[in-house]
Structures are given as structure tokens and as C-alpha cells.
Amino acid sequence: MLWLSEVLLQQHGLDSFEALKQAVSERAQAGEMHFRMDVRPPFPDTPEDWEDRLEAAFYAVQK
């Protein structure tokens, strides 16, 4: 199970929402099966629909 807070803590060099999306996608490619969002991303460019976008980035890899 991959938690969003875990990604943010492990990859503290992330500086934008787009970089976070890429990191989430990479974790899915590495074999993570489930994804949970337990915190809001702290980036100024985080969109209102951030949950949908991160979910799409994660599950698009698993098709």
C-alpha cells in the first residue's frame, strides 16, 4: 500500500505537483498495487482536483 505522505517524506526534493505526479507514476511502475491519499500536497501549483489527477497518474500505469 502506497500512501501519499510516504511519497512526500521519501522524496522530499519534490518541488511541484507535476513532479509529485511523476513520482506517483514511477512508484506504480515499480509494482505498487494500491494508493491512498492521506494528506494534501503542499505545492503552490496543486490543483483543486489533485486527488483525481494523482489517482489517474497511479492507475494509468496498471492498465
In this structure, are residues 20 and 54 in contact, taking their beta carbons and an 8 Å threshold? yes
Alpha helices (H) along the chain: 4-10, 17-29, 50-59
pLDDT at residue 16, rounded to an integer = 98
**Which CA distances in Å does 13 have to 8, 17, 19, 59?**
9, 12, 9, 23
0.85 surpassed by pTM: yes
Helix, coil or strand: residue 26: helix
From CA 59, how far away is CA 10, in angstroms rounded?
A: 20
50 is written with which cell numbers? 489533485
9-42 tens-digit pLDDT: 999 999 999 999 999 999 999 999 999 999 999 9
pLDDT at residue 61, rounded to an integer = 79
How many domains is the chain built from?
1
Residues of the domain holding 20: 2-59
